[in-house]
Structures are given as structure tokens and as C-alpha cells.
Structure 1
């Protein structure tokens, strides 16, 4: 049984105009359609909601949506299973999530990784064919899209829930696949925490972990005989500021579930000179994937590269009192001072490192923002 995995799909930029003509949009994906036709099941991350609701939620980052006919386009290409655990599903609130569910059901598309509440969002999906059963779980990092006990949204990652959900699914199927939406955007490697977490997912009983979200592809490793793919990159996601860079290159993962698991990687470029997808030979990414794999398996090297990225990103910069884009640029170039004292940094560190303090901070901010 062959199953195809694709990364993030969102109709943005030049693609919005292209998708005004459904047939023309479908023809853009002819090479992908041929590949989907060689698989019993093709899975894609439907990165943004289908909704008429106009007001986006208050969040860190843009609120984006997919046009209604994007579901029809993906279905005609050959995608029959959509993952919905991602950081954009709830961009237009619970109403947008529920509208997306209705649109998918109208097109008879199966989806998982989200629900009308957290209990529903945690539900697995089982695909059966040829006497084999593949069980799927879909989770995402905890951002503004997640479901709660009373609100619709995506299924968040929690180690405790993963334990119970994998234990419940494992006896029902031949293989367990966990699809995760997470990682540092534009960073081509897993963070050290991600690597430990995905190893833990394998230890719980998963046979395969597949990740997307970072807007760039990553490498993979074999852990205890099981495969972990740390990033598929974008599947189709136009961005006017991104040309001829990692944003524009993605991977399709073809997995054959037989008596054992085998796989193939299919690279492509997307939304570069035109809002199109072009399948490429594996040789176009083989050396880069080999390099990434070498870093992934070396804990010390991974930690070093990660720390270099952290210092470059300066994650405290949003807390600096520099609001103008140009003034922030001066700060990042070292031309303006860091006004957060060492003592204040120690307080911030303790607030996010200590489990109880972090829990308190999240509850407080959630409450404040929900009342505004």
C-alpha cells in the first residue's frame, strides 16, 4: 500500500488569481496528479480555512484563508485526506473552522487533526486496504489555532495526550503514523526539543513521524528502526518576497507500507517564477538532504547549529520598545541598545522555564486577551 504525504497548502499571492479558474488551477498540478495516481492515498496539509467570515483573530502573524474551490482542485489532483492540525486553521475563529468542516464534507473529503472541541480533534483516522490498517494521528504546536474543551480548532501537541492516543490506536492497526505541524520557521533542522519529542513518539509505538510547518524542507533519520521525516517544506504556498530560496522547494514523501516500510522522496519547486509546481529529480536535493541528515544524527552539532540560529533570531526582540520596522532593523544591526536588563531577562527566563510559572503566565494572558 503506497501513501503520499505533502506539506503546507495555502492559496496566496499570485495563486489567488490562478484559482479563479478551477480547471486552469488543476492543470497547473498535472505532474502532481500523475504522482497521486500512483498511490492508494494522498495526504495534504490544508493550511488555512475556507470561510466568508471577514474578521481575523488577534494573533502573532497573518490571518490567511483558502478559496472555496481549492478543495475541489485538490480533490481533482488526487488528494483524498486532509490534515487540519496547523497554526492557521482558526485564523477566523471557531466560525471559520466550522465553515471549513462543512466545505470539506460537501466535497466528501476526509479530514482529521481538528474538531468541534478538543475531544473530537484528538480522534485518529484509520485507512484500510489490502488487509493492512494504517492509523493516523495529527497534532500541531500550541499556537492560536488549537481546540479547547468548548471551542473548535486543531489538535495540540501534549506529551500526555500523545501517550494515551497512541496507546489506544496501536492495537487497532498494523502501522501508526503521527503527522506533526511544528518547528522553527525557515530553519532547515529540527530543534533539539523536537528531536527528543519525535523519538518519544516512536518510543510510544509510532512507526513513522512526518513533520511540516517550517516553510523549508529538512532531513530525516532512522530511530530504533523507525523513520522520522523532520520537514516536507511547502507544498503550494506563494509568497511575493520568496523566490529561488528554500521557501520555493518542497518534498513529497512516498511511503510503501508492506511487511516493512520503504520510502521515496520526490522533490519539486513551487511558486517561483510562476505560481506553478515542477517535479524535479532527487539528485537536485540529495546532497543537501545528506548534509542535513548528518547534522540531525549528531546531537552536539545539532545543538551548535541551533544555538547559532537562536542568537541570530534574537527572540527577545519583540519585547524591545522599538515598534517601527525601520527602528527594529537598526536594533537588529546592533545600532540601538538592548534595553532589557540582565535582571529582567532572568525574570523572563524563569517565567517561561518553570512549569508552574509558565502555566500561570499562559492562563493570565489567555484571560486578558479573551476579555478584550
Structure 2
């Protein structure tokens, strides 16, 4: 039996004092594949990419920290891999040259199946992709990250199924800090299972979301942050430091089972360990119960997107698009612009439109507001 262990987003500023519990170390040592999403490139002299949102990088020893602890696959398909251009991406890939990187590079490398042979003779395949943000490859040419909605991903899944004993897709997408996945992502992930994927294990929202079994195949909508040092410690979203470890057991060809192990990161002591919080366990149960109840799920999604609409309208205003009467978020965006923080920067509006998660959330919220079916 092959064991695959997957963690969420990894981004650290320094690794000198970062440690894992003995229990998690034992888990890593006993598995065939250990995988995480490497959320940002290592620090280089690369020029920052023009984008909406922060350009972030991480410690140059971050790759070695993961490699030394048994990680042999990393996804680099995310919205920060290209934050410092091709130079940052290439330097990061080189730092991981002893292990497998998935989901970025020139077109043929980004949209490519990567495989690992386990000690019991099974071949496990990995595909990684991201929602459409800055640095995403939506057409051939240049370097970047594979786009989740590209027809090339569907074709790759179909072409890859018969080449491996287990096919794992690790997408990076969703609305940040939402407890529920958008309905559109649920449909996309289920379609990937229909096409031949054996598991879909997602990241990006920076908080955990629920999971479910579809046609005997596991889908986890967000693992949350494996280890992500916050940009502003005084404004950390709830569950930022609590996440999921996904353990997949492959007993036969395309025969797979999933276990979820709650974990936590102590941002002060830089320590990652199992999470036995009863409150967090109840939160996970609530998410999964909601996912299994169509009416409750729809209600929760609608509540979340309506709450986010003023934020999106503020981003449109900062992008120079007046979208309605003056409101708090428009005024806030204007004042931020006066202080040199990006007002009339069209990339803010562009990202609301190009990123399918934002676009889907905005469309749903506007339909609800205007009572349009």
C-alpha cells in the first residue's frame, strides 16, 4: 500500500527555529510521498511582477527545510510563484532540483504529468494548477503556472489516467477566508473525477474548507495553511494557523482512501503539530455537515458573497471604475489612493474580472442584490 501525505500552503520568512512535532515527523518518515504547496518563490534579485495584491517571497533555505524532512513533491502552481518573474521561479525550481516540482515553467512543463514510483511498485501521478491570476499561463508562450480552467488540464487528466495507479490533482483556487467552496469549484473538481482523477486536494483560501467523497473519490476543497507566517500578526483571520493534513492510501490501481488529520502552526514558537482543539473539530464537522445539505450550503455561500461585495466594489473603485453611488468602500479606496496606495491602478479591476473565483463571487452577490435568478 502506498501512502501519500499532502499539506497546504507553505511560506516562511526564516526556517532556523521552525520545527515539526515528533508525531508529524513520524508520519512523514512512514509515507511514500510528502507534498505541499510552495506558496512563494525564494528571495532573489528578480523584479517584482506588476499585479494586484502583495509580491511575496520566502527564505532561501525554505526548500531545504522541506527536503530535509522528506518532502519529495511540491506544487508551484499558485498566485505567488511568479511574483518576482521568471528569475524567481527558475531559482526556486533549481532549489528543488532533487525532488519533483509540479505546475509551473514553460507551457509544456507547466501542463505536465509528474510521477513518483513508490516502494511497493505503484506509480503515482500529480497535476497542479491555479486559478487565473497574475503569472498564470492562459496561452502558450513564456513561463508561468498552469491554469485550472484551461482545456489543456482536462486533456491532461484524460491522457494521464492510464499511465498511473493513482492520479492526484492539486488545484490552487477559491475565495480567501471563506469556509465554503464556491459551487463552481465543486462542479469543476467533480468533473475532474469524472475525467479520471482519483483525488482532488485543493489549497489557496488560507483557511480549511470541507471535504467530501464523490464516486468513491476524495475531494478536499482547501487544506488551509500548512505553515504561513502572516504578513500582519495583528490582523490574522480565524483559522489562519489551523489546517488539514490529507493522508491518502492507495491499495490498488485507482483504489484510494482518504483520512484527514487536523494540524496547527504556532506562529510565535514556529512549531507545527497535531491539532486536538475541540472547537476546531466542531468547526470541521459544521463545514462537512453544511456541504452535505444543499439548502444550508447555498445559504452559507450566499451569505459569504454578499458580505464580500463591498470589498469587491472597493477594489473596482481603486481600479478607477466607479460602480455605484459613493459608499464607504469607494471613499476608503479613494483615500488610500491619495496616500499612494494604488488608486486608479487598473490591475485591481483586472484581477476581479480575470480571476474566476472573484468573478463567480461577484456575479453571485450582484444577482442576489438585484434579485436576478
When the two structures are superposed, what TM-score results if normalisation uses the length of structure 2? 0.80
Trace 1:326-341 onto structure 2 (pairs within 5 A). Answer: 331-332=328-329
Whole-angstrom CA distance in 2 between matches of 1:119 and 1:76: 29
Whole-angstrom CA distance in 1 between matches of 2:108 and 2:304: 36
Q: Answer yes or no: is the 8 Å Cα contact 2:147–2:153 preserved in 1.
A: no
Change in CA separation of 1:216 and 1:81 when aligned onto 2, cut-off 3 Å: same
Q: Answer yes or no: is the 8 Å Cα contact 1:98–1:152 preserved in 2.
A: no
Matched, 1:289 2:290: no
Trace 1:25-174 onto structure 2 (pairs within 5 A). Answer: 25=18, 27-28=19-20, 30-105=22-97, 108-115=98-105, 117-129=106-118, 130-147=120-137, 148-174=139-165
Deviations 1:152-199 (A, max 9, x none): 111111252222101110111122111111110001111011111111
Shift of 1:301: 2.6
Shift of 1:11: 0.9
Segments of structure 2 that go 5 or more residues without pairing to the other structure are 321-326, 334-348, 360-373
Whole-angstrom CA distance in 2 between matches of 1:163 and 1:235: 28
Shift of 1:287: 2.4
Whole-angstrom CA distance in 2 between matches of 1:298 and 1:101: 42
SS of aligned partner of 1:82: strand
Matched, 1:247 2:240: yes
Segments of structure 1 that go 5 or more residues without pairing to the other structure are 324-329, 337-347, 359-372
Trace 1:339-354 onto structure 2 (pairs within 5 A). Answer: none
Shift of 1:51: 3.7
SS of aligned partner of 1:7: strand
Whole-angstrom CA distance in 2 between matches of 1:191 and 1:272: 29
SS of aligned partner of 1:88: coil
SS of aligned partner of 1:42: strand
SS of aligned partner of 1:142: coil
Shift of 1:30: 4.7
When the two structures are superposed, what TM-score results if normalisation uses the length of structure 1? 0.80
Shift of 1:98: 1.3
SS of aligned partner of 2:174: coil
Extract structure 1 runs of 4+ deviating beyond 4 A.
28-31, 332-336
Shift of 1:68: 1.4
Whole-angstrom CA distance in 2 between matches of 1:352 and 1:125: 31
Q: Answer yes or no: is the 8 Å Cα contact 1:265–1:282 preserved in 2.
A: no
Q: Answer yes or no: is the 8 Å Cα contact 2:111–2:153 preserved in 1.
A: no
Instruction: State the superposition RMSD in angstroms.
Output: 2.9
Shift of 1:333: 11
Q: Answer yes or no: is the 8 Å Cα contact 2:241–2:264 preserved in 1.
A: yes
